[in-house]
Amino acid sequence: MYSGGMSTTERLIEATRELLWDRGYVGTSPKAIQQRAGAGQGSMYHHFSGKPALARAAIARTTEELRATAEATLGGTDTGTGSSSAYDRIAAYLLREREVLRGCPVGRLTMDPDVMAEETLRAPVDETLDWLRDRLAGIVQEGLERGEFAAGLDPAEIASTVVATVQGGYVLARASGSPAAFDAGVRGLLALLAPGRAVPNSPHSSDG
């Protein structure tokens, strides 16, 4: 499943990330991790003290990846529009290609009671969502100062709405079996942010 160049440690972390995303903490057994990573029990416990330590490393990697992916669009380096306006950066974040029907790997963690009950597992999730809201609020503030958005919008509230729309969109898409529900939510939010402005097409518009 993984490239031959990956170390055992990397294979174990990646296997745990995938399993947490698909099965949750309880369903991510040491045996399942070993099988997916192609590593023996002795090898696993040589690198990690056990499942909790592996889960911490996997969750840290997942949250780091979410930040990097979000920053690529919110920072204006991957908007695909040639523009660094606040609206375009938010639109690029909302409309970027995602595995919509699989759900958000970080959002999945927030619904896992075993992860949320353990401080060391929950902390990187909380910190990442706080970072995302703060980053979005800063961009909305920039847009307000440039006159891109209607005066009176609350940056913190809009940031929370963006995050809630994305996470809620995953739920609706999974429930319906189609990314159309996700796309409708994010396109609706963009239309409200900038009335009269054409909303870019979603990369999921031709999906099932």
Q: Is residue 112 part of a domain?
A: yes
pLDDT tens digits for range 183-202:
999 999 999 998 878 787 77
Q: CA 179 to CA 60: how far, in whole Å? A: 27
pLDDT of 208 reads: 36
Is the pLDDT higher at 61 or at 80? Answer: 61
Task: Please give the residue range of the domain that contains residue 131.
Answer: 60-193
User: Distances in Å between the alpha carbon of 31 and those of 18, 25, 38, 50?
Assistant: 14, 13, 10, 11
Q: Is residue 24 part of a domain?
A: no
Q: What percent of the chain has pLDDT over 90?
A: 80
Could you give the number of structural domains in the chain? 1
pLDDT of 127 reads: 97
pLDDT of 79 reads: 47
Q: Is residue 7 part of a domain?
A: no
Q: Is residue 86 part of a domain?
A: yes
pLDDT tens digits for range 6-34:
899 999 999 999 999 999 999 999 999 99
pTM of the model: 0.88
Q: Is residue 74 part of a domain?
A: yes
HSE, CB side, 13 Å, CA atoms: give it for residue 122: 10
Q: Is residue 93 part of a domain?
A: yes
State the CATH number of the domain containing residue 176: 1.10.357.10
Q: Is residue 25 part of a domain?
A: no
Q: What ranges in the chain are assigned the alpha helix state H? A: 8-27, 30-37, 41-47, 51-74, 86-95, 105-110, 113-116, 119-146, 155-176, 180-193
